[in-house]
Amino acid sequence: MADADKKVIELFYDTISPYSWIAFEVLCRYRSRWNIDLRLRPFSLAAVVTETGNSPPGRVPAKLKWMGKDLMRQAYFYKIPFRGRKDPNNDMANKHNINVMLLLTAVTMDCPQHLESLTRELWLRFWSREEDITQPASLEAAATAAGIPADQTAALLAKLQDQTVKARLTKTTQEALRHGAFGAPTIVAHVGGKPHMYWGSDRFLLIADLLGEEWLGPLTELAHL
């Protein structure tokens, strides 16, 4: 298959978002089934929410309760080891921060071959093992677990506050906003020379239809975890 035929799919995601994890795993699995070129685009969900006047979904108690159940059911259905957190609202506000997305941005710039594995490791830390991801030592541990060599890890951590990295994260986030993003995950499928934006991890049937592909279900046999 010529690469030129592959349809570009951009996944704008933030590791604070559990539904983004579902979209991430599904799209990673579908790379081997659909004729697509998957581009991972770490962005800042906090910035998107603020910019669009949106609010986090967990504001409504009954909705937060349902989302917990929904995520556990989907985790089981898709074979993703999501285990939730004891206090998700508090932890999303206080135990996740922009440094995580800056690190992923730096990886995108300097060693993109590690982007998928580091992204997965960060989700596992935050949403599966309820481990810290705010301390430099935690980010270092995640990078190591993702297979990034020690010297590369040190260089990445040293540049998190660089203007170039912040500018890149801002640019990616603004691209998502230009596509009409207001939440995460935001998926942009480029078909017929036009971008088609989808929000959430529950539009794969529509995306398959747009791509002229078939939805084959959760493809748990291709699970990376």
Partner 1 sequence: TSKMAAPARKTVEFFYDVLSPYTWLGFEIMCRYQQKWNIDLKLRPFYLAGVFKSSDNRPPAMVPAKSQYMGRDLWRLADMYKVPFKLPSNVIEVLFIKGSLNAGRFLTAVDMNCDQYLEELTRQLFLRIFYRDEDITEPASLLSAAMKAGIPEDLAKQLLSTIKDQTVKDRFQQTTQAALDYGAFGAPTIVAHVDGKPKMFFGSDRFELMAHMLGEKWHGPLPELAKAKI
* Cα–Cα dist 224/171, whole Å: 30
Stretch that binds partner 1, among 34-42, 66-74, 95-103, 126-134 (CB under 8 A): 66-74
The full DSSP string for 129-155 is S----SSHHHHHHHHHHTT--HHHHHH
Q: How many residues bind partner 1 (CB under 8 A)?
A: 30
Shorter beta-carbon distance to partner 1: residue 52 or 90: 52
* Cα–Cα dist 147/154, whole Å: 13
Shorter beta-carbon distance to partner 1: residue 167 or 216: 216
Shorter beta-carbon distance to partner 1: residue 66 or 147: 66
Tokens of 4: 């030129």
| Residue 213 binds partner 1, judged by CB under 8 A | no
Residue 63 CA, distance from chain mean position = 22
Stretch that binds partner 1, among 67-75, 81-89, 145-153, 159-167 (CB under 8 A): 67-75
CA-to-CA separations, 72 to 23, 65, 83, 124, 223, in angstroms, rounded: 15, 11, 7, 14, 16
CA-to-CA separations, 99 to 44, 102, 105, 110, 156, in angstroms, rounded: 10, 5, 9, 16, 11
Binding mask 11-50 for partner 1 (x = CB under 8 A): ----------------------------------------
* Cα–Cα dist 206/121, whole Å: 29
| Residue 89 binds partner 1, judged by CB under 8 A | no
* Cα–Cα dist 19/58, whole Å: 13
Question: Closest separation between CB of residue 140 and partner 1, Å?
Answer: 36
Q: Which of 215, 219, 222, 223 binds partner 1 (CB under 8 A)?
A: 215
| Residue 72 binds partner 1, judged by CB under 8 A | no
Question: Closest separation between CB of residue 52 and partner 1, Å?
Answer: 4
Q: Which of 87, 130, 162, 202 binds partner 1 (CB under 8 A)?
A: 202
Tokens of 147: 């297979």
| Residue 203 binds partner 1, judged by CB under 8 A | yes
Helices (H), 61-202: 61-78, 88-94, 98-110, 115-123, 136-145, 150-158, 163-178
Shorter beta-carbon distance to partner 1: residue 156 or 181: 181
Question: Residues in the site for partner 1, rule: CB under 8 A?
Answer: 52-54, 60-63, 65-66, 69-70, 73-74, 77, 177, 180-183, 197-200, 202-203, 205-206, 209, 215, 217
